[in-house]
Amino acid sequence: MKAPPPQSALIKAMMRSFRWTMWLSRRQAWLAVMAALSVTTVADWLTGPTVSMTIGYLFVDCLAAWTLRERAGIGVVLFTVALSSLVNGFGYIPAVDLTGLSTTVAIWNTLTRASSAMMIVLLVATLRHSIDVERWRASTDYLTRSLNGGAFRSKIERVARMARRRGATLLLLYMDLDGFKAVNDRHGHAAGDEVLRRFADEARARMRADDLFARLGGDEFCAFLAIESEAVPEQVAESLHARLSDALRATGYAVTCSMGAVVIDAGSAADTERLIRLADEAMLEVKRNGKNAIRIAFDAPAELRRAA
């Protein structure tokens, strides 16, 4: 396939309408599902059993499957079927009396509705899972399971926004592995891959879920951290460099880490490329002065200084 298939106007409108649901937290998703369910239930109660609100309940089921995945979706299906039966009547009460159906037929119809809703929910959950997998593949470096450069840049503003709300300071790190090429040349690419994986695993283990860590390419990595007010950014950078250096020594290969760090005010983190260049310049300064060290900048190239 040379190009993606064309999208109809309806599909484009649906994608724009539901894009916001991709970013809901679990709590926000549950609130959205419960709000939609409340509206549907009230409408069902007001209109009575003569007006079907199946489409409303099905929307709730699909919203749960899309935002909360298949288990929650199936659970919501069972709950909405029971709730609909409670509101409209079941067995020998109004729902059956109005239609003249037997209890057996009423049970069969209820099971049929539930099964149909479950099949739709499973299709929606499968679609969401497929989309999530493709998004992960598009944003992740396969070898190290870290973010790739494009995903790293796209997520920086989100971390900066969270840091501004918390009054935190930002720390951008640019890392390059010294001697990595020699490992590939002397011991093979499998050894080099193992070094990269060990380095990335140690880096991620020292960061929180909201921090960003990416492999930009080759043996170059970048990290973006929000530092709370009680912590000193320079000390955080130095501690991380020491931990990563220990991890590299543990591989048994002569590989070290040159690191450039930039301390950033959360309010001035809009120019992503300038900040990455600044961290890169700090790292290159380390390379020019012996490698295996860290150099810290304070959001201006002229203020580079060697860490104590």
* Tokens describing residue 182: 């020699």
* Tokens describing residue 49: 């059993």
User: Within 13 Å of residue 47, how many CA atoms lie on the same side as its CB?
Assistant: 14
Q: Which residues, in sequence order, are bridge partners of residue 233?
A: none
Contact 173, 259 (CB under 8 A): yes
User: How many Å is the Cα radius of gyration of the chain?
Assistant: 27
Contact 237, 173 (CB under 8 A): yes
Q: Which helix (H) or strand (E) holds 92?
A: none
Distance, in Å, from the CA atom of 83 to the CA atom of 168, rounded to the nearest integer, reads 46
Contact 268, 248 (CB under 8 A): no
What residues act catalytically?
219
Distance, in Å, from the CA atom of 300 to the CA atom of 284, rounded to the nearest integer, reads 15
Contact 220, 175 (CB under 8 A): yes
Distance, in Å, from the CA atom of 226 to the CA atom of 221, rounded to the nearest integer, reads 17
